[in-house]
Structure 1
């Protein structure tokens, strides 16, 4: 039904998950019996997708961002938010948590992010390695809001963000881009995607580097102040091939290394990672999707005192390891049903080694180590039942989770043990469910409703690692309970004419035992479970396509409140930290020919509070971005990009008057070649 395809930012987006045929059928609309279709993706979507609030971004929307960064792409989706407004050039990587539906409040991700089915969040901190997820490598992005189900659904308390890698149909045989901005920063990328027999291989690399912009306001800079210099290198390799006429194999690898300087000279952070996965997808009578992956990451960070400008903390290393996989089968149970039976497993461990220093003497004052292991085994079943114009879906998921081997050890400057704590192991079973319905009233109207529950384990960082952002210290809490979500939503999709699509969703989500950084004394906070974060609101999207011109917009308005009592009573009724009430975006695009694209994007984010007690408010911000791809000659095109064209002041942090700023006006120019 065509009106369902328009629940997207760009009308063509629904095609992004459609199979990519490598051999043309003998006749239009009729595939030859010997044709082998290789998609490079998982199993096709079930009919239940329209029962939930879903947004799909197609290749044009993903690849044509002003910054060339995935967080910029995702900011066009109603309800998406990072912990801070900084992007992955100027944020501390450990603060790159992502969430949906105003359920934020700390830096851990409450949205599940998958790259070709593999969870990518750092196992220790819960952040997303955004700089490694190059939009140039992606075919599409799908965002599903609300509690998750299916594989790895335990972490999807606010929703799921699925990134699908591009193949030859999106990138062509060879594509390369070289860009430079007015500060002399560069962005270079290249992708090769040759077809090999009935399969294909894609190999890509991206290198970003620059001296960065000033994150410190001019009146707060000193001799030790520094620009947000950055350098990121990442590479990806994928091979997709048929094993039989219905089974394909997908092998993928990703490596990346990222370094940044934040605010002061010597305040350097690094994040790096390697991951590999192997996937088998069967599209025969008994459909199946079997995936296994291995993932290693590391993080380091140096903190410089804002007063003495000496090193006060060296987070020397935080190595993590995660292995896991899933197996899902869809037995043939008749045309009216799509039955999914599956299991997934994720085993992870992470350890921190850091050294605090005296801001007065510059000498080491202690040596700390902390870490632990976590695991989750999930079993799930879901059935989608089509009854004429009505589609019903219901599923249940059981998780066996463990938190083990947690510890915190500290030695003083002389090497004497000052603290050595081994925390008790914990484990439990948790059951969650999700159900929904969509009624396709006619070709122009559909109604939907859904209810769901979900769960997120506290990260190892939240459990075991204290940290300081001067002058505030935040303590860990090894007794944190898992977060539990209960949510409801209802929506309407309207497609009155072919060129127009409208979507409106009302939701009510309650995150029980939400983990927040709670103030317990002056300049002292602790990670604690509050009773709940209760978020209610609306999400709206509209798409208008008129010939060569398109206009697409989204809006999220949320009333999000903390529910707390007892010693946390001061938080009751407060809005969670770093959560705006209103966020909206609109993109106007013109494509006079397929190889052309001119687009401008307006974004607005309302005011938000810096801390749990709402003592400091970050002002609202409105920005305008632009993108142009103009053919030159042959395979070459001119690329022009503009970030924050009005040079709006973006306040990303205000800690007792110490302010950090986001990206200023940035103008890019370069060339793109495509074969």
Structure 2
């Protein structure tokens, strides 16, 4: 059953939650008795704990998320310096499997080392670990909280570099009907629509978005051949979300998401697709004994055709990669006094999947080999965390134990006649891993706050890293079924200063080390293998500032990271090198002007420092500085004119450089359109 078929069934299952239950008759008639409780459905999880400020945390508001030049979530998150994907290209022109998200220059390969949660649900693909960025629509969100570092804690295994918590907007924030329609100067279009309605004491939201276009040239003019094409894309996503009270303290939330994305990269026929269906149910209790019970299921798929850069015909058809993610979380907060918050919980995630691909002769076009590989990873985590407030000081400490399994791994290759060329079944592995974190925050008055934290964390290698080789022609990267778990040890300290609501300054110093980091290690010309290197060690500073005065505001973020790979044995050649695709400097600054209600003009200056394509620092990706513009001008009623400009100076942004074969990021792109609902 395809994810597209599953999506229809999942949404159909969740749809009834959009209409149940209705408010009591008294509330509907406007004659609610004074002694009856007022039920407020929020659609979010449990309230924040007092120790959140102990870690390096940045919150992006809805206004920030919906006012980017590209209209894409990765652009919005890019305002937090240190956020990065594996490559600089966005979700219109990158291979989805390269959309791994990380923070603090703790990358080195395409897997996500930051945990991305949407309404509490991990969004990482069960097989690859990438984030389906085109399915996460900024206008559906209320906020994004980015915690750099912080260890796994109650967020589940995988949060080595930090956690990105995305929260969907409710009906009040979205309005009854809203949407927008924009077109670029190249003829690309972006269309979205949302219907959000209060139903009794609950609400339901149905939203959709469709992006399509012929895209831009990722190949420099001097390297184009007759087979070269623009980076065309066609993606859609639909989300249904509902929340309803079961009584005056317990709230039921449901969400269904379906998405499909097709892209063409570099050459005609080099088509890539991803699709998926997610469904989740959540019970949130806000009584004396607070709890959060969450369950979810994900069905995903990925396809990719690799085209030769010399003969321009297909060499590999990754025709099917079905994967399933199943998981859940239960968190309990017993009453322990006003000055204390105790969190006890358990979480579970099972990731299963396999790939089916065909190797193709560049001469005859016939299939020369059929390959099949896959496996199952599971993680069961137990966690406890306690926050204690003593006057102006809040102390926090937590422990986590993970029981993991890596099992049923296999790789089979057969020739054109169906005879086995390779048939490997890998031994099952399992074990326990412990993680800890703790910190303190001192509120010294006059808006001054000091904080410090230490933490450890865990990430299992993905099924992709363990079992799937891949090719970015002409470079072949081999899988490695013997990969070990990654382990993080980190420390940080910082100072926050907010003397008034108009000024908010922050500075953090950190030292993070990922032991047994998985990296793409060069073995020879055009050959790499995923291996555990000794470590990736990243030290640096992160600074942010927000200043508001009358109609103007300035928000800035800066990260400097001294990151180095530590390798021995086969990986000795990369020892001391900066990890692949990680810049030393990253900065972002946005100046906004809001002359009237619902009117805004915002200009964003963004800089990404030089970085290297590979682990041996052979090919450089030069530094790039871009300027973006966003403007929203009300024209009457609930309508507004929207103007957007990406990369206004037409900076050359190199996203890939393999021996001089280059890909480019988005050039100057101008958008115009209308928006309904302010």
TM-score (norm 1): 0.95
C-alpha separation in 1, matches of 2:393 and 2:499: 20
Aligned to 1:180: 183
Would you say the 8 A contact 1:99–1:110 is kept in 2?
yes
Query: Which of 238, 249, 252 does residue 252 from structure 2 map onto?
Result: 249
Which whole-Å deviations, capped at 9, do the CAs of 1:193-229 have from their partners, x for residues lacking one?
1101111000000000001100000011111001000
Matched, 1:119 2:122: yes
C-alpha separation in 2, matches of 1:292 and 1:273: 17
Would you say the 8 A contact 2:653–2:664 is kept in 1?
yes
Would you say the 8 A contact 1:143–1:160 is kept in 2?
yes
1:184-263 mapped onto 2 (5 Å cutoff) = 184-263=187-266
1:160-179 mapped onto 2 (5 Å cutoff) = 160-179=163-182
Offset, 1:348:
1.5
Matched, 1:612 2:615: yes
C-alpha separation in 1, matches of 2:573 and 2:268: 38
Aligned to 1:431: 434
Would you say the 8 A contact 1:147–1:485 is kept in 2?
no
Aligned to 1:40: 43
Over 3 Å counting, the alpha-carbon distance change for 1:391 and 1:142 in structure 2 is same
Query: Which of 370, 373, 376 does residue 367 from structure 1 map onto?
Result: 370
Matched, 1:148 2:130: no
Aligned to 2:408: 405
Unaligned regions of 5+ residues in structure 2, if any? 1-22, 28-33
Offset, 1:65:
1.0
Offset, 1:430:
0.4
SS in 2 for 1:496: strand
1:552-563 mapped onto 2 (5 Å cutoff) = 552-563=555-566
C-alpha separation in 2, matches of 1:463 and 1:217: 34
Matched, 1:55 2:51: no
Would you say the 8 A contact 2:514–2:535 is kept in 1?
yes
Query: Which of 274, 277, 283 does residue 277 from structure 2 map onto?
Result: 274
Aligned to 2:531: 528
C-alpha separation in 1, matches of 2:172 and 2:148: 28
1:480-495 mapped onto 2 (5 Å cutoff) = 480-495=483-498
User: Which stretch of structure 1 is more off in the superposition, 520-529 or 658-667?
Assistant: 520-529
Which whole-Å deviations, capped at 9, do the CAs of 1:277-333 have from their partners, x for residues lacking one?
000000000000000001000000001101101110000010001111011110001
C-alpha separation in 1, matches of 2:409 and 2:469: 14
C-alpha separation in 1, matches of 2:569 and 2:316: 34
C-alpha separation in 2, matches of 1:463 and 1:595: 50
C-alpha separation in 2, matches of 1:41 and 1:254: 17
1:89-108 mapped onto 2 (5 Å cutoff) = 89-108=92-111
SS in 2 for 1:568: helix
Query: Which of 401, 419, 423 does residue 420 from structure 1 map onto?
Result: 423
Matched, 1:134 2:148: no
- The root-mean-square deviation of aligned C-alpha atoms, in Å, is 1.3
Would you say the 8 A contact 2:448–2:498 is kept in 1?
yes
Query: Which of 76, 82, 85 does residue 82 from structure 1 map onto?
Result: 85
Aligned to 1:579: 582
Query: Which of 569, 578, 582 does residue 566 from structure 1 map onto?
Result: 569
Offset, 1:605:
0.3
Which whole-Å deviations, capped at 9, do the CAs of 1:487-510 have from their partners, x for residues lacking one?
000000012344211100000000
SS in 1 for 2:75: helix
Which whole-Å deviations, capped at 9, do the CAs of 1:8-62 have from their partners, x for residues lacking one?
xxxxxxxxxxxxxx999xxxxxx98622121100000000101000000001001
Would you say the 8 A contact 1:119–1:152 is kept in 2?
no
C-alpha separation in 2, matches of 1:54 and 1:444: 16
Would you say the 8 A contact 2:156–2:347 is kept in 1?
no
- The aligned length equals 648
SS in 1 for 2:572: helix
C-alpha separation in 2, matches of 1:562 and 1:305: 31
C-alpha separation in 2, matches of 1:654 and 1:35: 60
SS in 1 for 2:433: strand
Aligned to 2:450: 447
Aligned to 2:309: 306
Aligned to 2:72: 69
Offset, 1:582:
0.1
Unaligned regions of 5+ residues in structure 1, if any? 1-21, 25-30
C-alpha separation in 1, matches of 2:150 and 2:63: 28
Would you say the 8 A contact 2:153–2:436 is kept in 1?
no
Would you say the 8 A contact 2:483–2:532 is kept in 1?
yes
TM-score (norm 2): 0.94
Aligned to 2:662: 659
Offset, 1:614:
0.2
Query: Which of 285, 290, 315 does residue 287 from structure 1 map onto?
Result: 290
C-alpha separation in 1, matches of 2:392 and 2:152: 24
Would you say the 8 A contact 1:499–1:544 is kept in 2?
yes
Aligned to 1:324: 327
Which whole-Å deviations, capped at 9, do the CAs of 1:351-380 have from their partners, x for residues lacking one?
000001122222211000000001010000
SS in 2 for 1:194: strand
Offset, 1:566:
2.5
SS in 1 for 2:516: strand
Which whole-Å deviations, capped at 9, do the CAs of 1:179-198 have from their partners, x for residues lacking one?
00101110000011110111
Which whole-Å deviations, capped at 9, do the CAs of 1:66-110 have from their partners, x for residues lacking one?
111100001100210110000000000000001000000100000
C-alpha separation in 2, matches of 1:435 and 1:402: 27
Over 3 Å counting, the alpha-carbon distance change for 1:150 and 1:289 in structure 2 is farther
SS in 1 for 2:365: coil
C-alpha separation in 2, matches of 1:152 and 1:100: 16
